[in-house]
Chain A
């Protein structure tokens, strides 16, 4: 089954340095959940500006792992926030959370297999 991230592109990006990839993946596991939590609170509070800003950060974060589908979901959420329309933000956030979760799991598996 195809991975959620582009393996070859990611390896090229980190210069085949699994140690460094591991470092950044750990950052994803530590920085991702609180960021998603803040995003959830912003969606719940209807704070579109905060949703836009936080989704932008999340988009940048996941862009480092060559996972275009997760990045696209984060970008959609960012657009909603910046456009001031949070009508579909709740379901979109769930998709993003799912994507980040899958990315994290697959990354850690990949690193473990390579270590």
Chain B
């Protein structure tokens, strides 16, 4: 250990230094408190042993300066804040010195005239504390660095995930659509998509992976990738040997079944996915959708929420070779369809009891028929924020709104 000894009386100082050096320590001696303070600032001491009464600067003043944050320069100090163990030398009779010294920041005391063995074990205790503090400090640094690396990785992953979201809302002379997506953490377990194929077929979907964090996000990204119409082998677009389809687009029931097959074949770490996939022939107003354990879409017509078929199937990744029902609806001009994740309806209120709920959500949609989809999705998140008391939700929140304008 590097030890600084502050003692104005020469014989005691010499004896202390000799003892400490005999035990293998590197010792620096100071003749008074002020000199000790100067040496402390230019050295890298792990233990300070100081007398109480000294000329120029007393032991207690020296301790106060050290504890106020004085650095000991370079050495192996991590950030100028490494702990220095302080032992105070005091008269055996003077208890008030002990109390005052420890209150000022001393860790221990040794009575004068000091006993050799007592001094040895007190210094030993100091060594233990110093080593423990250095180890903890190093581990803290390592943890901080690891946390920083993970944060960077998560941010990079979140950027990748965001890049897969729809670029913009889609509006044509037949259809007007908008979406919103609020992840609860850096990475989301929700996925949404909005694609216009051949200027006619509007594909929209919401996927919700069970759980949160990186595993859920990886599955969400996998689903988005499989459903992208851009890549080779997209599930969305028909292959040459595939059936009828909706224009060039595969039927939603077929796409959902194939996605289920793929997720059942892989290792999903015990997770499953719910999903709703819609294909709207925007020229004919014919809406096809298939559901895998996902909340029903909300269909709003003339300011009212209409019942839609509950046909569907189990969530993806649970049972292989599932068939999924396909529901087909003929829309009327002005009809509005909303797809969403359960994060929207299951959000607890900050003061009110219970969740946001289906009824409140439906009322939000039916009460805003004159509001354009792009404004509606923003207003909806604002309403949920007011309900939650903050713009931070317990689950990922996704919403896609599609208005069919007519033929």
Contact = CB atoms under 8 A, between A and B. Distances in A.
A28 interface: yes
Contact of B9 (A14, A60, A75): A60
A15 B93 CA distance: 26
A24 B11 contact: yes
Contacts, number: 43
A57 B8 contact: yes
B266 interface: no
B12 interface: yes
B179 to A, nearest CB: 81
B112 interface: yes
Contacts of A53: 53
B59 to A, nearest CB: 12
Interface residues on B, range: 10 to 19
A64 interface: yes
B14 interface: yes
A13 B11 contact: no
B78 interface: no
Contact of B11 (A15, A31, A56, A71): A31
Contact of B12 (A12, A14, A63): A63
Interface string B1-15: 000000011111011
Contacts of B116: 12-13, 15
A66 B51 CA distance: 19
Interface in A1-44: 12-15, 20, 23-24, 27-28, 31
A95 interface: no
Contact of A27 (B8, B10, B22): B10
A43 to B, nearest CB: 19
A8 to B, nearest CB: 14
A75 B94 CA distance: 12
Pick the most buried of A12, A24, A31, A53: most chain B CB atoms within 10 A of its CB: A24
B113 interface: yes
Contacts of B15: 13-14, 24, 64
B350 interface: no
Given A20-B18, A63-B112, A28 B8 contact: no
Contacts of B113: 60, 63-64, 66, 71
A61 interface: yes
Contacts of B11: 24, 27-28, 31, 60-61, 64
Interface in B1-59: 8-12, 14-15, 18, 22, 51, 53
Contacts of A12: 116
B53 A64 contact: no
Given A13-B116, A63-B113, A23 B9 contact: no
A22 B239 CA distance: 103
Contacts of A63: 12, 112-113
Interface string A64-98: 10100001000100000000000000000000000
A27 B53 CA distance: 20
Contacts of A56: 53
A72 B116 CA distance: 21
Contacts of B112: 60, 63
B109 to A, nearest CB: 15
Given A13-B116, A53-B53, A56-B53, A61 B9 contact: yes
A64 B12 contact: yes
A23 to B, nearest CB: 7
Contacts of B18: 20
B10 A23 contact: no
A31 B15 CA distance: 15
Contacts of B12: 60-61, 63-64
Interface string B76-104: 00000000000000010100000000000
Interface of A: 12-15, 20, 23-24, 27-28, 31, 53, 56-57, 59-61, 63-64, 66, 71, 75
Interface of B: 8-12, 14-15, 18, 22, 51, 53, 91, 93, 112-113, 116
Given A12-B116, A64-B11, 20 more contacts: A13-B116, A14-B15, A15-B116, A20-B18, A24-B14, A27-B14, A28-B11, A31-B10, A59-B91, A60-B9, A60-B11, A60-B112, A60-B113, A61-B10, A61-B11, A61-B12, A63-B12, A63-B113, A64-B12, A64-B113
8 contacts: A13-B116, A14-B15, A20-B18, A27-B10, A27-B14, A31-B10, A31-B11, A63-B12
What 10 pairs across the A-B complex have the smallest Cβ distances?
A63-B113, A60-B9, A64-B11, A27-B11, A24-B11, A60-B12, A61-B9, A57-B9, A61-B11, A27-B10
